[in-house]
Chain A
Amino acid sequence: MSVIVAKELTTALTALREHGDARLIQGGTDLMVEINFNHVKPTTMISLRDIKSLRMIRTDTPGIMSIGSGVPYSVIEGEPVLTAIPALAQAARTVGSPQIRAAGSLGGNLGTCSPAGDTLPVMFALDASIHLSAIDSSRVVSIHDFMTGVKRSVRQHDEIITAIDFPIINGWQGYSKVGVRNAMVISVASACLVADHENADVRIALGSVGPTIIRCRAAESWLKTTLDLSTRSTISLDVANEFGRRAAEESSPIDDHRSTAQYRRHAISVLASRLLRKAYQ
């Protein structure tokens, strides 16, 4: 196996184009597990860890925080992300152990594209955009178009995820994740809710309860037709619970060794209800 340690993005992109067999590695928290279990046997690896441009957090575009794909969760947990995109910081805090958070990144979460990826519901709820670069082109893809299935995305082999743009909203946002222990656990069900006060809009996205992250568009529009969100009054328990029930209806969880479909659906209804009430407290 050869390992190419790129210092510049162009080096990595050139190598990626040259080596059809190459696997990208940033923190390695997913890939190294796959390798250790012999599930994948890369012959060429391109390390992105030393590319400084992937580790930047930019705010030069008004209303946008652009987070480099290699910024580790341990950085995302704190400022400036904590104030600008609190749901993302909360999601980052739920990832693994401190060691894993020091290595793992949004690029890895998107690269693996598991429905249990902790930060993906935040991207879905905030309508984040994904920057992809190849050696001779680049494009920006909405997160909604990026993820196409369980561990499947539109990223082409010769593309590297460079950054994720998060709109800064004027409102409230929160992330909740259910696992069977209080830290360092794979999500059994998760939800991110964004209450965009400026646009009188509520958006909710669910993790681990379907083949992709699920945006509950029906529940969102039900809420908007039921309530005038521009008045920002508190939300009754009945309305919140009905919102939760409708969000859960849009999920399509399965039974597995981590939990049951029934529990997952129930958990979503509770999380959605609680997040909505918190948003309008």
Chain B
Amino acid sequence: MAKSSLVTKPRDILGNSALRPDGAHKVQGSFEFTSDLHAENMLWGATLRSPHPYAKIVSIDTSAALALSGVQCVITADDVPGKPTYGLISSDQPVFAQDFVRYMGEPVAAVAADHPETCRRALALITVVYEVLTPLTDPEDAIAGSFAPIHPDGNVIRHQRIIRGEQSISGPIVVEGEYVIGMQDQAFLGLEAALAIPDPDGLGLHLHVATQWLHEDLTQISACLNLPADKIRLTLGGVGGAFGAREDISLQVHCCLLALKAGRPIKMQYSREESFFGHVHRHPATIFMRHHADSNGKIVKIDARFVFDGGAYTSTSPAVLINGITHTQGPYKCDNATVDGYAVRTNNPPCGAMRGFGVVQACFAHESQMDKIAAAVGKSPVEIRLINAMVTGDPLITGQIMESVAPVARCITETDAIPLPELMGQTVNELSLPGGSGLTASRSNIVRGIGWGVSMKNLMYSEGFDDYATARCTLKDGIASLKFATSEVGQGFVTLAPQIARSVLGVDEVILEPIDTQIGSAGSTSASRQTWMSGGAVDGACRLVRERLFHHVGLMHSIDPIRLVIDGTDVIDQLGTFRVSVADASEGIEISETFEHHHRATEELDENGQGNCHTAFAFVAHRAVVDVDPELGLVKVVQIATAQDVGRVLNPLSAIGQVEGGIAQGLGLAVMEEIVMKDGKVRNPSFTDYLLPTALDAPDVVAVMIEEHEPQAPLGAKGIGEPPCISVTPAIVAAIRNAIGKNIERIPVRPQDICL
């Protein structure tokens, strides 16, 4: 009793708002990001990049750079000892460009030197002679075959169709549109960084890196270095956000090559400008959709054509394409569909994973279409979505049966029940109007609009990939240690994992061991999958440990272990009075178990796009209230109401953080975030001109968490990372349309799209 009276706050078990272990450090600036790492005798590495979107490399002369005092080594494609290329799905991206550069910013060479400034000077001394070629920048040219292949693998990365149901069916209502989605950047705050430390014997190395998936990095690095995987150790450095941009290799191989060649530790870190060229972006896309509906607005058939611009290299384009086209219908019933999808290669920047992964693009199109159907049949946005809402058991256009909990209608009605914000009074804070601190508008210049967006998002990996996560739990003297390779990129797994251990094992103290490759893979921190996958692995390992603890206690006290359960921080006999604290019960013993959590198998799609390709799904509804200045085309998002299907809330604070953050990111895509391209060149690689929402742009968020435990999920909880950013974008655009009475089919919506 005396001991428990010392506990002054609720234990940080599942369901409580446990605080991030790294939270205070991050707020105070004392958290060690990868860019803060340092090693004795360290050199700096830097990358020379192509200024051209497409050019033949005639020659590279590094002699002047090598001659510069302070330069240790210069490497090019000729210095890659192993595989010359890498890639997540197709190994088609060169470590360094050899014959051709295929996008602006492609790495051509790297240097190691005693100071970043020496690196910069050395890069300027490398002479590359280019024969500049006309870049392929229009994805339609790639599809039409009107442009000579810019890569040996051709200009079409993947083509997939979906043919479902009756192909010739139509209805009295037919609406269509061509939707254009601009290129969004993940814009994480912690720039790419790594520190590679060669082993004393020169035969291996240790790489500290900010990444989303240590083991996948290891596989690709090992092939390029021609070193066995057991000679390379990866440790996760402090990561400042990822959003998909750290799935692909960026500086990993360069840093390792320099370290092995120099025989000294190498630190590399990108500037913000270099970061825009150093990682993949969200695919720009053009999506044509035609919906056929009956006179009530019920969807009869959907025709669609998707074109995703994959840029110069494959990255995850094939998977993004499949995600896009398989989400054509959104969270609505649809029995008939004809969908054609392309992911193509161009000389634009490579595109790959970003929060929402292909579904963001599809959702903007299908939600815009839903509003057109509603208008055509004279129904409200809410009515049209309720009429069509999918339920568990419905077949998808891939033929897969929706087996996940699917509270689509509930997401919509609970969002609808959230009170609207108050109308603007006569006196308003001018800063809160569209135009904000620019003081461009008075209240009388403003009109208000309301718009809706609802989405479905697949969780985890698809198309037959054996997706799993590994964790080990060790219990000793009442303290649990957890070991996993799960990348903590800011999502909060380092908060959640101890919550799981406390709940399952009844411990208070949980130690997190270093996150590295000294244990099996955890898979990627992406696809809203780590709570489900690594959470499942930690839960599984803790349960195995608990079973052995009960066995041990049973033996010691002659109780059948099946009668034992955890009650708070004690082990108790459910059928008797026996009670012992977990700390006492585990004194002097060590129990360690490793668990691999696999999700159920999925299938590849056949040539007609049929197959059980996805693992599970989550749903969300967004209602946006937006103030618009129609004359100037400026926008202020006033309120986002949302009800999200989360399965179960494991940490309320973390959950609302994901919801608010995702909404800000979706708002960015709706009204400001775009990498502006011209002739294959990036025009705005800086935070001066690539605009992210500020506090004055962020709306009030009113969120409802819909908790219907997901039976498939180890903890009953669905992934919650991606859904918040998906349907909020079309909701905001719908609200703008509603305010000004004008159709807009392109995002981000620019001021001139509204007022000119």
Contacts and interface: CB of A to CB of B under 8 A. Distances in A.
A257 B436 contact: no
Contact of B691 (A180, A267, A270): A180
- Which of A181, A260, A263, A274 has the most B CB atoms < 10 Å from its CB? A181
A237 B700 CA distance: 34
B442 A183 contact: no
A183 B696 contact: yes
Interface string A167-196: 000000011111111111111101000000
B684 interface: yes
Contacts of A267: 632, 751
B283 interface: no
Contact of A182 (B271, B273, B436, B751): B436
A83 interface: no
A258 B440 contact: no
A215 B696 CA distance: 30
Given A182-B438, A257-B676, A263 B694 contact: no
A183 B694 contact: yes
Contacts of A274: 440-442, 445
B697 interface: yes
Contacts of A190: 438
B755 interface: yes
Given A94-B437, A183-B436, A278 B442 contact: yes
B670 to A, nearest CB: 12
Contact of A181 (B445, B684, B693, B755): B693
A10 interface: no
Given A257-B684, A258-B689, A259-B752, A182 B439 contact: no
A178 B629 CA distance: 11
Given A185-B691, A270-B631, A274-B445, A180 B437 contact: no
Contacts of B688: 186
Interface string B344-355: 000000000000
- Which of B672, B696, B697, B751 has the most A CB atoms < 10 Å from its CB? B751
A262 B756 contact: yes
B434 interface: yes
Nearest to A184: B694
Contacts of B671: 180-181
Contacts of B694: 97, 181-184
A86 to B, nearest CB: 10
Nearest to B676: A257
Interface in A245-280: 257-260, 262-263, 266-267, 270-271, 274, 278
Contacts of B631: 270
A179 B752 contact: no
- Which of B434, B439, B695 has the most A CB atoms < 10 Å from its CB? B439
B435 interface: yes
A126 B632 CA distance: 25
Interface in B690-732: 691, 693-697
Contact of B751 (A90, A93, A259): A259
B435 A178 contact: yes
A210 B234 CA distance: 53
Contacts of B750: 180, 263
B751 A180 contact: yes
Contacts of A182: 431, 434-438, 634, 636, 694, 696-697
A178 B441 CA distance: 10
Contacts of B441: 274
B120 interface: yes
Contacts of B563: none
B755 A266 contact: yes
A158 B435 CA distance: 40
A270 B672 CA distance: 21
Contact of B440 (A178, A183, A263): A178
A17 B273 CA distance: 36
Contacts of A278: 442
Contact of B689 (A37, A257, A260): A257
Interface in B631-681: 631-634, 636, 671-672, 676, 678
A240 B459 CA distance: 55
Contacts of B632: 178, 267, 270-271
Contacts of A94: 437-439
Contact of A178 (B431, B442, B634): B634
A225 interface: no
A38 interface: yes
B116 to A, nearest CB: 11
A279 to B, nearest CB: 13
B683 interface: yes
A187 B672 CA distance: 14
Contacts of B442: 274, 278
Contacts of B752: 259-260, 262-263, 266
Given A262-B752, A262-B756, A181 B689 contact: no
Contacts of B445: 274
Nearest to A175: B439
Nearest to B677: A257
Interface in A63-91: 90
Contacts of A93: 437
A140 to B, nearest CB: 30
Nearest to A37: B273
Nearest to A186: B688
A32 B678 CA distance: 28
- Which of B437, B441, B631, B752 has the most A CB atoms < 10 Å from its CB? B437
B130 to A, nearest CB: 22
Contacts of A258: 684, 689
Given A257-B684, A257-B689, A270-B631, A263 B751 contact: yes
A175 to B, nearest CB: 7
Given A180-B750, A181-B693, A278-B442, A257 B437 contact: no
A81 B528 CA distance: 51
B732 to A, nearest CB: 14
Nearest to A263: B752
B691 A181 contact: yes
Contacts of B693: 181
A184 B697 CA distance: 10
Contacts of B634: 178, 182
A183 B678 CA distance: 26
A178 B437 contact: no
Nearest to B691: A181
Contacts of B684: 257-258
Contacts of A183: 431, 436-437, 694-697
Interface in A176-229: 176-188, 190
B695 A178 contact: no
Nearest to A33: B688
Nearest to A273: B631
A178 B439 contact: no
Contacts of A257: 676, 678, 683-684, 689
Interface in B619-639: 631-634, 636
B120 A38 contact: yes
A103 B37 CA distance: 29
Interface in A90-147: 90, 93-94, 97
A90 B435 CA distance: 13
Contacts of B431: 182-183
Contacts of A259: 751-752
A271 B440 CA distance: 7
Nearest to B436: A182
B751 A178 contact: yes
Given A178-B435, A262-B756, A266-B756, 14 more contacts: A36-B271, A38-B120, A177-B438, A178-B438, A178-B634, A180-B691, A182-B435, A182-B636, A186-B688, A186-B689, A257-B689, A262-B752, A263-B633, A263-B752
A-B residue pairs, 8 tightest by C-beta: A182-B436, A257-B683, A177-B438, A182-B696, A183-B696, A263-B752, A183-B437, A257-B676
15 contacts: A94-B437, A175-B439, A176-B435, A178-B632, A181-B691, A181-B696, A182-B438, A183-B695, A185-B438, A257-B678, A262-B752, A263-B750, A263-B755, A266-B752, A278-B442
